[in-house]
Amino acid sequence: MKALYVADTLQAISVIEEVSNRRRQSMPGISRRKFITGIAVAGSGACVCGLGGCATFTKIGRTPAISAGAYVLGNNKVKIDLIKVPELGKIGGSVKITDSGLSQPIIIARNSEAEYAVVSIKCPHRGVEVEYRHTDKQFRCASLGSSSFAMDGAYKKGIAKKSLSKFNAKLDPLDKNTLIISI
């Protein structure tokens, strides 16, 4: 039991090291010491799930929210005016919709010229937002647990163990600037 405790602790430390290194690399000019201190301060409202679990420093991911006038809800559909969503103008972009009219908040990722993947944005583990990573075409939890999910929301790895909900999305055949999501 004690050996398990130590192993889990070492694993948690290595995950924290890996994530802090990755994030620090994206913040040139910030020393490792300052970065770690920043994490400690930012983590004051954090959820630390426990040994072998996920240590959550951010509950909100980096996915931008869609602008309010860019979509309409109705008849179990979300219709998005893509002209008003510059984030989806390029392949690899993503936005989120957290409208209370939805059964659950969603993330929309443009993964090819005419394909959009739409899944629930809350990680099944502790509800932290997932983010779209176009480099490996997957959704990944923004927490340190870093659970990951395939483009259709299927669970791939990590502590979440469950899949995200998937929603069908297609371009309106009569108007290629309108994306229709069935909810």
Give residue for tokens 């490996």. Answer: 136
Least distance to ligand FES, CB of residue 85, Å: 26
Helix ranges (DSSP H) in 26-64: 32-42
Which range touches ligand FES (CB under 6 A), out of 22-30, 37-45, 101-109, 155-163?
Answer: 155-163
CA-based nearest residue to 81, from 61, 63, 100, 95: 95
Measured from the CB atom, the residue of 19 and 73 that comes closer to ligand FES is 19
85 binds ligand FES (CB under 6 A): no
Measured from the CB atom, the residue of 95 and 123 that comes closer to ligand FES is 123
Q: Which of 141, 169, 181, 183 touches ligand FES (CB under 6 A)? A: 141
Which range touches ligand FES (CB under 6 A), out of 2-10, 29-37, 137-145, 165-173?
Answer: 137-145
80 contacts 102 by C-beta, under 8 angstroms: no
158 binds ligand FES (CB under 6 A): yes
Measured from the CB atom, the residue of 162 and 176 that comes closer to ligand FES is 162
CA-based nearest residue to 126, from 149, 98, 146, 99: 146
118 contacts 166 by C-beta, under 8 angstroms: yes
CA gap 43, 114 in Å, rounded: 39
Least distance to ligand FES, CB of residue 71, Å: 26
Which range touches ligand FES (CB under 6 A), out of 15-23, 38-46, 125-133, 169-177?
Answer: 125-133
The torsion angles phi and psi of 182, rounded to 5 degrees, stand at -85, 130
